[in-house]
Amino acid sequence: MRLFVALDLPWTLRETLSGLCGGLSGARWTAPENLHLTLRFIGEVRRDRAEEIDLALHALRGRRFELAVSGTGLFDRNNRPSVLWAGIVRCERLDHLQNKIETALQRAGVVPERRRFQPHISLARVDAVAEPLLAGWLQGHNLLRTRPVPVDSFTLFSSQPGPDQPVYTAEVDYELV
């Protein structure tokens, strides 16, 4: 199984973000049903390891909070634009939850994450988009702001390859108090 832990976004936020998707020839936009905020990518695991991960995440206790989107940006891979994203307003409870998830996963035997957590929502793959078009899109959307939405759970997802995009399946939801 290919697994990751994420916040499953409310439909209202997905609609707002999917309204941004367009206007860039060559961009591969994320389908609204696939929009999420990854807290920790795990990768391929055996079924028995997935059960250990589930147990570790069930034991985790976190507090509810609100999440807001602010701004857009671009990740590079090998000095080339690769992912267009929507940013997240920094939130102590989000950072705390992500740290707890990382600790729980390491206790379950998952290799530690080496990259620093940078909360974002991936909107599109843009490796085939001309850089001047990307710059124009970013300038046109850099003032993006959404109202805060409540976060009362996080989710363990599985990912399967699909014909156009991966198919994400919510395997387990973990309630926050």
**Confidence at residue 6, expressed as pLDDT on a 0 to 100 scale:** 98
Residue 141 is among the residues annotated as catalytic for this protein: no
User: Out of 58, 96, 120, 141, which one is annotated catalytic?
Assistant: 120
Cα 45 to Cα 56: distance, rounded to the nearest angstrom: 15
CB 130 within 8 A of CB 119: no
Residue 120 is among the residues annotated as catalytic for this protein: yes
22-72 pLDDT, tens per residue? 889 999 999 999 999 999 999 999 999 999 999 999 999 999 999 999 999
User: Out of 36, 58, 96, 141, which one is annotated catalytic?
Assistant: 36
pTM for the model stands at: 0.95
Tell me how far apart the 2 most distant CA atoms of the chain are, in Å: 48
Homologous superfamily (CATH) for 2-175: Cyclic phosphodiesterase (3.90.1140.10)
**Residue of 121, 120, 157, 138 whose CA lies nearest to 32:** 121
List the domain boundaries for the chain: 2-175
158-177 pLDDT, tens per residue? 999 988 889 999 999 999 99
